[in-house]
Amino acid sequence: MSEPTQKHSITTPRDIAEAARPAATPPAVRRLERDNLDELITLAEAEHGPITPEEIHERRDLLRRTRDEQRASDTSS
């Protein structure tokens, strides 16, 4: 789900740059991704109703099958 990375060069006061640096750590990035996902889930549930455990299992199984198929395709290339 992550976007490709990009390098940016900006000029900011040192104290602001030092305060912002921890926000770019891998755990912080994962937290932001989870927050974004939580927001999407909340919006989807507001529009379509709660997601049932069965739907979660079905989607998880579909994702696993798709990932396994992609891996098999990658190794046969």
pLDDT in tens, 14-72: 998 888 887 778 888 888 899 999 999 999 999 999 999 999 999 999 999 999 999 99
Residue in the structure block whose two tokens are 């789900």: 1
Complete DSSP assignment for 39-71: HHHHHHHHHH-PPPHHHHHHHHHHHHHHHHHHH
Give the amino acid at 55.
Answer: E
The pTM is what?
A: 0.49
pLDDT confidence of residue 26: 84
